[in-house]
A = this chain, B = another copy of it.
Amino acid sequence: MAQGTDDKATRKRANRNSPGDSTRSRILDIGERLVQVRGFNGFSYADVAAELSVTKASLHYHFPSKADLGEAIIARYAERFADALARIDADGAAAPAKLAAYADLYAEVLRDERMCLCGMLAAEYETIPSPIRGAVVRFLDDNEAWLTLVLEQGRREGSLSFVGSTAVLARSIVSGLEGALLIARPYREVERFETAAAQLLASLAGAA
């Protein structure tokens, strides 16, 4: 059952267009931005088609349903986010620098006048297709797991000072940063996010 799907996906990735510029990936680019700016319920295939100058039917060729498109968007987003976390780890920095780099991933999103994809989908949770719901929760779990490791590193190396469970603290950091993004966006002030993020990291897991 997975075989046919894999074959198809392999063919898609190996198509004649230059990989980063394929119609498929441009649909994902536009769709991703639209979800982050307007929400999954706030855009239509017609919006994407107009921006790409193709027909709606062409989009349905690449992503049969809007749910399929949504799944592909979040899958790619999660993959890229995981890569970004791996790059932070690869630097071999101390825990406080890793936390700052993590917060900056969020700031980057806001500078683009977007919301975090998963924060947006968390707000729309009750109305989104079930596979996307699963991906949202997995994304949050992965973020918490990564932060938990960083907090443990900080405690071990003595670079962070905090009391209580690393897992609980990791959750507070994720929700604190998501909330700071959510609230800063209407004000269109990146500084507002940065101040809240700095306050949060200093208070929750301040450098020792």
Interface residues of A (CB under 8 A from B): 37-39, 41-42, 115, 119-120, 122-127, 133, 136-137, 140, 162, 164, 168-169, 171-172, 174-187, 192, 195-196, 199-200, 203-204
Tell me the minimal C-beta distance from A110 to chain B in angstroms: 12
Q: Known contacts being A39-B41, A137-B186, is A175 close to B203, with CB within 8 Å?
A: no
- The reply to whether B172 and A124 contact each other, CB–CB distance below 8 Å, is no
- Copies of this chain present in the complex amount to 2
The answer to whether A200 touches B176, judged by C-beta atoms less than 8 angstroms apart, is yes
Min CB gap A44→B, angstroms: 11
* A180 shortest CB reach to chain B, Å: 4
| Contact (Cβ within 8 A) A180 B183 | no
Q: What is the bound-complex CA distance between A62 and B10, given in angstroms?
A: 55
Q: A115 vs B185: C-alpha distance in the bound complex, in angstroms? A: 17
Q: A199 touches which one: B119, B133, B181, B204 (CB < 8 A)?
A: B204
A115 to B120 CA separation, bound complex (whole angstroms): 12
**Known pairs A124-B42, A169-B199, A199-B204; A180 contacts B185 (CB<8 A):** no
